[in-house]
Every structure is written in C-alpha cells, then in structure tokens.
Chain A
Amino acid sequence: MIKNKKIDIKGVAIEGATLLSALIIIAIVVVMIVVIVNGGKQQLSWEFLTSFPTDGMTKGGIFPAIYGTFMLVIIMSVAAVPFGTITAIYLTEYAKENSVIAKTIRFAVRTLAVIPSIIYGLFGLGFFIKFVGAQVDSTFYGGQLKWGQPNLLWASLTMALLTLPVVIVSVEEALRTVPKDLRAASLALGATKWQTIWKVVLPGSISGIMTGTILAVSRGAGEVAPILFTGAAYYLATLPGLSDQFMVLGYHIYVMTTQSANVDQTLPIQFGTTCVLLMLTFLLNMTAVILRYRIRKKKNN
C-alpha cells in the first residue's frame, strides 16, 4: 500500500488551476504595461511634456494637462489631508471605542468609500457649483458668473471628498501603530491629551500618515468621473487659476480617444498621455511602498 504511489490527478488539477489564474493576473499587468509603454515611448520627449497642444489638438504636447493634474492633486491634498487627519484623531484618540458617534462616523466613512465616483461628480456640481458657488456670486459679485461654474477649486474639493475615506482610514491605522504604552507614559508625566497627541502620537505616526496620503493622492490623480462636471476642460490656451477650468491627464486621454477630430492621427499622443499618467501613479505608489517599507524596518529594530 505504501509503495503504491498514485498520481493525485485532482490535486494536480486544482494546483494547476490556481496557478493559472495567478498567472493570468501577471499576464494582464505585463500586457497592459508593454502595450502602453511601447505605444508611448516614441512620443515621450521633453517637448511633449512641456508644450501646449497645437493644430487643433492633433499635435504638440500635454503640458497643461500635467500642470492641471498637479494642481488638482495639490489642492485636493491641502483640503483632504488635514480634514481627514483631524477626523482620524477624533476617532482614535477621543471617541470611545464603541460609542454611537464613533460607530456613526465609521459607517459614514465606509459609505463614502463605496459611493461611485460619478456620484461625487454630481454632488460636486450640485453642492459646490450650483449652491456654494452661486451663493458666492450673488453675495460678492452681484450675480455675475464667477464661482458658480466648473473650475479647478470645485473639482479639487470634489476630489478631496472622494479621497477622504482613504485618508481617514489610513491615518487611523497609522495612529493606532503608536503603542498605548507611549500615550500612558506621556500622560503619566503630566502631559495633557493634546500634548500627548501632538508630541508623541503624531510624530510617531508621521510616515504612516504620509503613506496613506500618497496612496489617496495617487487614486485622485487617475480619477476622471468626479471632475467631468466640476472643472475638466477639453482644451485651454492658458494655464488655469482657481476659478478657471483646467486640463487634466485622465480627461485628456478620454477626449483624445473619443472626441478628437482625427483619432487615428492622435494615437501617439493618446499613448504618450496614458504613459505619463501611468508613470505618475506608479511613482506615487512606489514612494508610498518605500515609505511603508522604511517604517516596517524601523519598527522591527
């Protein structure tokens, strides 16, 4: 009996099937990257990155879209990170673990996280533009249209709302990695709760907070739906201010592939733009991964 070894066909088949599905994942990533990089590499040049589109958007560069993406990401972070961090501080440091208010906030955060991004766009249109913007116009500009229309500010704030749940959850996680012992030590030295948060908890979790922030930002950089109604523009001849519409990489890809006068002719630009967006999000994610790795290493020492 013992010597009578049979091949376990079922076992081999199951192992093979699981391996296959894992390999498919790798294949998808590889194909995606190879196709995009291959298609875009000729297009990538200093000039492509730094010049405006020309000839009715069939030639030229994508500088305004890169600029718009950066501005969007920066304004969005300025809004979402402090707001999200403060919320996370409330949840971890002040709220009682199972209190009604903490549960309600967590429920709200989870709900925000699963709302489809197009709905954020609609909310931004309805709330920021039609309500807040219109109010500002009628109060300060005598009803003249200034803020009551899509622009960089409203789009950034809409995007900030979208990324808020990611920021809150990751900052919360970062704050929880600071041992309770350290909070106790600080309080036992006669520090107030706020001194403890400011001088012990936040410094101890700053890299975690940054990691979470970068991940949130990289999500925002690639999203298009929330800014469709709130500020993204097809083409602009000048760089935008806060109250102007703006060009952005994700939306630029969309218009180039669907709205362009000659889709075939602009194919290299489409690939180039996609390549730039991909590299940008990769870069952000890599930074987050490296930061996280360094935190782990520090913690293990």
Chain B
Amino acid sequence: MTIEKINTENLILYYGQKLALNNISIKIPEKKVTAFIGPSGCGKSTFLRSLNRMNDLIDSVRIEGKVMIDDINIYDKNIDVVNLRKKVGMVFQKSNPFAKSIYENIAYGPRINGISNSNQLDEIVETALKNAAIWEEVKDRLGDSALGLSGGQQQRLCIARTLAVNPEIVLMDEPASALDPLSTSKIEELIVQLKEHFTIVIVTHNMQQASRISDHTAFFYLGELIEFDKTRKIFTNPEKKQTEDYITGRFG
C-alpha cells in the first residue's frame, strides 16, 4: 500500500514561448525513491524544479496545471513559497556549500527558522551529518571551512544541510553526476537509507543508478512523461517502445 505524496495534474510549463513540459500528470509515492530519467533537455530537471517552485526564480517561466503536495496545490495564490521549500528540500547537481564552516553550513537552515539555542543546534547538526553519512569524516573539524572538503564530501554535506531543515520531500538533481564512482556509491547507499524518513525524487542521467536505487521510474522525452511505473517493470518490460529504446541504449 503506497500513499501518494506528490500528485501533479496536467502540468504545463513554458520558457517564454517554448513549451518545456506538456501535460505532466504523475503520482509520486511517499517514502520511496522515484527516479526521473530521459535524454538531456527532456524536461526532467525542469519538472523537478517545479515541485518546490525553484522555477519561480526564472522570469520567463509560466506554469499551468496543478502540483498537489499532501493535497494542497503549491501553485495556489496563498501558498507561502518559503515554507514550501522548507518542506520540499533540494540538492543540486553541483555541490554548493556556503563559504562558511561545516557546522555553519548545516546550522544555516535551522538558524533561519529561528533556532538559536546552541545545544539544540549542536544536536541538529550532528543528526543531519549522521543521516547524510558524513559525521565520522567531519566530526573533528566542524569548525573548518566546508570548501576544504572533497567533492563527494561536499555533496553529502549539502544533503545534510537539506536534511537539517527537516523536510518531508528531498528533490535531487543529478546529485552524483560530478562525482567519482566511490563517492557516487556512497551517495546511492545514502539515498536508499533516506527513504525510510523522506520521499526522494531524483533526476539522473545514469540508468544503472536509477535501476539500483529507485522504486519507481519515470521516463521523460521531449517534455512529455512517456511512462511511469515500478522501476523493475520499466527496466525489464516497459509498455512503450520509446522507453525500451532509451533504456536499451538505442538513443539518448
């Protein structure tokens, strides 16, 4: 029995005059890993960014349709985008730690939420770093600059930073695409662990990655959602020929 966490209805998105997403309707289950795959420019990242309204930052974007999260349309007029983003966190393709200490990177989110008690912050920082499987590596140098960490560590730090705000959904935009295989496998293990507490939506270029870590997979092509199903079904017995062509490497 799965409960749906995100439910989009006929989502249409334009960049200026260009149609980037056409009629996307999808039901993303709670506390599972859902992967978006598809060739570059297919709209999967754009779609991901519309789930926490990061596309609002781009002036030319226009959106129609609904994105329901827990049965609330996040594009309603009276939605507080700031609170929405606390609930729907995001990890970016390129790790982007602040030029602050490791500790301050994690404490940033809780602090802007008004938490200033240092014991409480210490606890949040430790929990977040543990949840992101990086605590052991950094616990003795929390005061050091986050920019001194390796690429893989930086990305896990960014995941920890997102977790520290205590979101319900974590969106990940190709979080391992810039990392070496070892760091990638650490991130993948981490994602699988995280679904116990969080709903994870991940965009990936790497089909093996999608098949390894996700429960459900959505295939996007040219701004359309071609097929969405259990990952095993998509990778072994897809309904649509386009999906099959893509996962067998015939294009893309």
Residues of A within 8 A of B (CB): 96-97, 179, 181-182, 184-192, 195, 199-200, 203-204, 301
Contacts and interface: CB of A to CB of B under 8 A. Distances in A.
Nearest to B91: A188
Contacts of A187: 54, 57, 85
B92 A181 contact: yes
Nearest to A179: B96
A203 B113 CA distance: 19
Interface string B113-157: 100000000000000000000000000000000010000000000
Contact of B86 (A189, A199, A301): A189
A88 B207 CA distance: 45
Given A189-B109, A191-B109, 5 more contacts: A182-B96, A182-B99, A186-B98, A188-B162, A190-B82
Contacts of B112: 189-192, 195, 199
Given A184-B54, A199-B112, A301 B147 contact: yes
B205 interface: no
5 contacts: A184-B96, A188-B90, A189-B86, A189-B165, A190-B109
B52 A189 contact: no
Contacts of A97: 59
A203 B85 CA distance: 23
The 3 residue pairs across chains A and B that have the minimum distance between CB atoms? A190-B86, A181-B96, A188-B90
A97 B60 CA distance: 12
Contacts of A203: 99-100
Interface of B: 52, 54, 57, 59, 82-83, 85-86, 89-90, 92, 94, 96-100, 108-109, 112-113, 147, 158, 161-162, 165
B98 A182 contact: yes
B90 A190 contact: no
B85 A190 contact: yes
A204 B108 CA distance: 14
Contact of B99 (A191, A192, A204): A204
A191 B98 CA distance: 13
B153 to A, nearest CB: 16
Contacts of A199: 108, 112
Given A195-B112, A301-B147, A188 B82 contact: no
A206 to B, nearest CB: 11
Contacts of B57: 184, 187
Contacts of B97: 185
Given A199-B108, A204-B99, A301-B147, A190 B92 contact: no
A190 B165 contact: yes
A184 B98 CA distance: 11
